[in-house]
Chains A and B, each alone.
Chain A
Amino acid sequence: MISVSDQQMEGAGTMPAPGSPPPAVSIRNLDRTFTRDGNTIQALSGVSLDVAPGEFVVLLGPSGCGKSTLLNIIAGLLPPTSGTIEVASHAVTGVPDEIGMMFQKPVLLPWRTVRDNIVLPIEMSKGRRAAKAAQGRVDELLDLVGLKSFGDQMPNELSGGMQQRAAICRMLINEPDILLLDEPFGALDEFTREHMNMQMLDLTHRLGRTAILVTHSISEAVFLADRIAVMCARPGRIMGIVDVDLPKDRTPDIATSPEFQHHVEAARDMLKRGHAMEMT
């Protein structure tokens, strides 16, 4: 029922089964160090991970374990110190075409309407005219996230949750296959956050997108993930994987089920072990 693979013991990462489609993201023996004031920080050490197309993977771990660093490397914003990273079977050199990204803050430009913020990625790559032509698509997306009549508002007229939904639309406008989500709802209150998680889960399944999401919250991780990569700090690495074999269509009441609780315990144990290793 619950399968937990421990990378520390197996050594290598999860290898794709023969015959399965090529992974959306493939990471092998990734290291990343930062040097600051002469001190070297090992932000990531020996990270290997494969993410299958359509899979929802959550990176779970304490602050400073390198979750954002890993996501930034996948996004091509940061080069690894060593190791390989492939997105859609291509080595990552710059920002790959396939990715869309979201952060804890919505970072909408306050001088543009919601609509003009959403078309920004198109405006960047294909110019103003293409952005204008995409208005129909903007309306579809706004409708999808429940912001139908808010397209012409300014961002600061919207609540935090609504702003983050606008950021979802901006992320989706170029139809990326792989969504990189760095604590996207971490700044929202619990109710809004739960609602947004539901929406995100529904969205990725409906659109068939691959998602890698970062969080500190164990229950959020279990609720969203097909697989949880549990990370620990000093050095930042993947402790192990928790396979969450709950049904795909989840609602918040699943959190009370014993299976859900089992997964939460499994993830918690792994975090604890990681923390203990960090101390020694």
Chain B
Amino acid sequence: MSASASQKAAQPAHKALRDPFLERIPSPILVGGSLIVLLAVWEFVVVIGWVPELVLPRASDTGKALVQVLGNLFTGGHVWVNFKVTMEEAALGLFFAGIIGFVVGALIAETTFGKRVIQPYMVALYAAPKVALAPVFVAWFGFDTTPKVVMAVTIAFFPVMVDTAAGLAGVDEDADKMFATMRASRLQRFFKLKLPNALPFVFAGLKSAAVLSLIGALVAEFSGGGRGIGILIQTASLRFDLDVVFAYVILLSVTAFAIYWLIDQIERRVVFWRKAGFIPTES
């Protein structure tokens, strides 16, 4: 209390710019409170009939569906079986997207062939609506997990590739000159300067790829059948069980967030010097 009061006294100029009321409320209460309000409004507009229930399920029904979905998930029911399939597809997708994205990105940044030949194709492919290829992959690879993984890789490797290429190319000019004065070989330059320099970028690409890989797997499930949460979502929406659909969407969102967080934690370990850079300047 007193700390925030003294902070305010120290920054009179900022006081007018900020909402003093919202500034004073602790963040968890603010987020939690606004969520409750949001859920209440959601419930209310459906109950009094402003929005038909066929269009928007009640918040309470969605909550019940979510509890059921989670119950089934943790007791190893059909949700768990399908969840596992989707997760495997997304994980494999991320794995290959990471490897392919890194290699192609490195080729583009490091070789003339990559820059002059591969890059134009990648730009063209980047502009293409890749999700439209899902039926094609199903036709090519059948109804098991293969087309889903291929779809996941196809849309997930782009950020890894782009960020890797940018990170490898974005070396400080003076650092490059310094390595030249040390007569560093090309390999030494790559492994001792460019690669460590690119790591934060590569991780940023991997984080985007994790989310995109899950989306790719789902899209392929929609058009490919077989097993997976995508199939469950499709079935539920054909039955107009929108509350169940919402429950699955929430489940997948939380999962995607967890994967994102996990990669972020790994990044903090690997790219340790970045964290060390955040020395608090005001004590």
A-contacting residues, B166-219, CB 8 Å: 172, 174-175, 177-185, 188, 192-193, 196
A154 at the interface (CB under 8 A from B): yes
Q: Which residue of A lies closest to B181 (CB)?
A: A101
* Chain B residues whose C-beta falls within 8 Å of the C-beta of A157 in the assembled complex: 276, 279
The stretch of A119-127, A199-207, A233-241 in contact with B is A119-127
Q: CA of A75 to CA of B179 in the docked complex: distance in angstroms?
A: 12
B interface secondary structure, majority? helix
A191 at the interface (CB under 8 A from B): no
> Given that A77-B177, A109-B193 are contacting pairs, would A125 and B182 also be in contact in the complex, using a CB cutoff of 8 Å?
yes
On whether the beta carbons of B182 and A110 are closer than 8 Å, the reply is no
Question: 15 new A-B pairs (CB below 8 Å) besides A110-B273, A110-B277, A111-B273?
Answer: A75-B181, A77-B177, A94-B183, A95-B180, A99-B181, A100-B181, A110-B274, A110-B276, A111-B196, A123-B192, A124-B185, A124-B188, A124-B192, A154-B276, A157-B279
On whether the beta carbons of A107 and B175 are closer than 8 Å, the reply is yes
* Chain B residues whose C-beta falls within 8 Å of the C-beta of A100 in the assembled complex: 181
On whether the beta carbons of B183 and A125 are closer than 8 Å, the reply is yes
Q: CA of A166 to CA of B269 in the docked complex: distance in angstroms?
A: 26
Question: Can you list 14 A-B contacts (CB < 8 A)?
Answer: A72-B177, A77-B180, A77-B181, A94-B183, A95-B180, A101-B181, A107-B175, A109-B192, A111-B272, A111-B273, A120-B192, A124-B182, A124-B184, A125-B183
Q: Which residue of B lies closest to A125 (CB)?
A: B183
Chain B residues within 8 Å of chain A by Cβ, number: 22
Question: Nearest chain A CB to B182's CB is how many angstroms away?
Answer: 5
A261 at the interface (CB under 8 A from B): no
On whether the beta carbons of A103 and B182 are closer than 8 Å, the reply is no
* Chain B residues whose C-beta falls within 8 Å of the C-beta of A154 in the assembled complex: 273, 276
Q: Which residue of B181, B184, B277 has the most chain A CB atoms within 10 A of its CB atom?
A: B181
Contact with B along A187-202 (1 / 0, CB 8 A): 0000000000000000
On whether the beta carbons of A105 and B182 are closer than 8 Å, the reply is no
> Given that A154-B273, A154-B276 are contacting pairs, would A95 and B178 also be in contact in the complex, using a CB cutoff of 8 Å?
no
* Chain B residues whose C-beta falls within 8 Å of the C-beta of A95 in the assembled complex: 180-181, 183
* Chain A residues whose C-beta falls within 8 Å of the C-beta of B172 in the assembled complex: 105, 107
Q: CA of A107 to CA of B178 in the docked complex: distance in angstroms?
A: 8
Q: CA of A109 to CA of B178 in the docked complex: distance in angstroms?
A: 11
On whether the beta carbons of A156 and B183 are closer than 8 Å, the reply is no
* Chain B residues whose C-beta falls within 8 Å of the C-beta of A156 in the assembled complex: 273, 276-277, 279
On whether the beta carbons of A120 and B182 are closer than 8 Å, the reply is yes
Question: Nearest chain A CB to B194's CB is how many angstroms away?
Answer: 11
B-contacting residues, A68-106, CB 8 Å: 72, 75, 77, 94-95, 99-101, 103-105
Contact with B along A156-188 (1 / 0, CB 8 A): 110000000000000000000000000000000
Q: CA of A120 to CA of B272 in the docked complex: distance in angstroms?
A: 20
Q: CA of A101 to CA of B176 in the docked complex: distance in angstroms?
A: 13
Question: Nearest chain B CB to A93's CB is how many angstroms away?
Answer: 12
Q: CA of A125 to CA of B185 in the docked complex: distance in angstroms?
A: 9
Contact with B along A8-41 (1 / 0, CB 8 A): 0000000000000000000000000000000000
Q: CA of A94 to CA of B180 in the docked complex: distance in angstroms?
A: 10
A-contacting residues, B72-124, CB 8 Å: none
Contact with A along B244-283 (1 / 0, CB 8 A): 0000000000000000000000000000111011010000
* Chain B residues whose C-beta falls within 8 Å of the C-beta of A77 in the assembled complex: 177, 180-181
